[in-house]
Amino acid sequence: MNLRDIAVGPQFLYPRGKAIFFGHALVGDARTLVRVANTEGDTARAVVLGGGVDLDISSRFALRVLQVDYMHTTLFNDKQNNLRFSTGLVYHWGTIRQKGHRAPVQSP
């Protein structure tokens, strides 16, 4: 069985020096992409709760030391409760403003 999921929701960040701790609560859909037991597949709601820690390498890149997610789905009318572990390289699209810090002013 091949399972794909897409989920969205809030992510909470707690920057401490070069480490950024995060947690998220996501809701979306999980979908099987191949036939299972003579059926065409299934789509169901997915709920993902998790968090982890990133270590800054530069202003744009970080190393994801660990991310752990709990994922709940009900595909084929059967409940699935899974743990997902991830590591990797993170690219930051924007910046994180910390309390008491102001963004640098760009000169013309």
Query: pTM of the entire structure?
Result: 0.73
99 falls within a domain: no
105 falls within a domain: no
Enter the tokens of residue 98.
Answer: 């910390």
Look over the chain and give the mean of its residue pLDDT values, rounded to a whole number. 84
Residue whose C-alpha is closest to residue 56's, from 105, 4, 13, 2: 13
pLDDT value, residue 106: 54
Number of domains in the chain: 1
pLDDT digits (tens, 9 = 90+) for 14-35: 989 899 999 999 999 998 876 6
Mapping DSSP onto H, E and C, the string for 8-38 reads ECCEEEEEECCEEEEEEEEEEEEEECCCECC
For residue 101, the SS3 value is coil
12 falls within a domain: yes
97 falls within a domain: no
| Domain enclosing residue 21, as ranges | 3-91
**Percent of the chain whose predicted confidence (pLDDT) is above 90:** 54
Q: Which amino acid is at 11?
A: Q
Between 18 and 100, the higher pLDDT residue:
18
102 falls within a domain: no
103 falls within a domain: no
- The answer to whether residue 5 scores a pLDDT higher than 90 is no
